[in-house]
Amino acid sequence: MNLLFCCVGAKPEPWVAGLRAELPEANVQDWTPGALPADYGVVWAPPQQFLDEQPQLKALFNIGAGVDALLKLRLPPAASVVRLDDAGMSVQMAEYVSHAVIRHFREFDGYEADIRSGKWSYRKPLMRANFPVGIMGLGVLGERVARTLTQFDFPVKGWSRSPKTIEGVQCFSGEAGMADFLAASRVLVCLLPLTPETTNIMNRETLSKLQPGAYVINVARGAHLVDEDLIALIDGGHIAGATLDVFRNEPLSTDHAFWKHPKINITPHTSARTLREETIAQIAGKIRAVEGGTPITSLAGVVDPNRGY
């Protein structure tokens, strides 16, 4: 069994060493042009040359949850794409979103501004019942976030393409349920996969349907959000502010309005990072399952190219 590692931006040595330790029966190599044919690829943002040189690949294991960039490439005809289904990312995402929700709800930005100016102040506590949180996207990460927020007694709403049931969460689904979901949400968290249908989904029309004084948290992909529409709605008063971790172009250009907007908090795409050890263990387990006779298509995380996730 031959396995190639091809991940732009990642140091190959610890990944290759980890994969060799988990799969001692495999020949694991860092990809270089002209490499011998392999059975599996472990990838992130691979060049088209890698894919063109490896038409026989059975599967491409993506070391992240998002596969939108990979699906834009010309893939080997028989290769299944398998994304991470957790590998330590869901708890990180739950931490990040909970922090952002609570920071806004408890008005910590305002307290920090007062302290910086030497002002000792109090604010009247807000009611959680008046701050329903809407999770747009109920996959592995979205469901973990939704369940976590229920532990803080926030009313939690969820929207997904197909119907789902999550204890403690009011779920909406499909195009028919979107307007009611937005109207029921005062905080909107985007955790959708990026597909042609979800590109620009957070625009003036949809964001205007949120409850007055809404707050926006985007931890999915920058292309979900129309930047100018968000700024206009914040400046107009309908939206109170936003926490953004993902952007159309990364790194975010130094002249972008998000940097200095007083009601927008930004972080450098760090809400849920790939954890190497957990990721290697998950991928190795799936490869062992396939080598043992499990069909690739029955693995957790296999991507439907038609849906984009």
Strand partners, 266: 244
Q: Which residues contact 104 (CB under 8 A, 6 or more apart)?
A: 187, 215, 240, 241, 243
22 close to 288: Cβ distance less than 8 angstroms: no
Check if 307 is active-site: no
Helix, strand, coil proportions of the chain in percent (round to 5)? 35, 20, 45
Neighbours of 197 (CB within 10 A): 12
How far apart are the C-alpha atoms of 68 and 240, rounded to whole Å?
30
Question: Residue 218 to residues 101, 132, 225: CA-CA distances in angstroms?
Answer: 12, 16, 8
Give the other-Cβ count within 10 Å of 240's Cβ. Answer: 16
- Determine which one of 238, 261, 269, 276 is catalytic: 269
The single residue listed with the structure tokens 């490896």 is 54
Count of residues making up the chain: 309
CB 296 within 8 A of CB 57: no
Residue from 104, 186, 221, 224 carrying the catalytic annotation: 221
269 classed as catalytic: yes
DSSP H or E stretch at residue 27: strand 27-30
Side-chain-side CA neighbours of residue 228 (13 Å): 0
Main-chain phi, psi angles of 200, to 5 degrees? 65, 25
Residues acting as catalytic residues:
221, 269
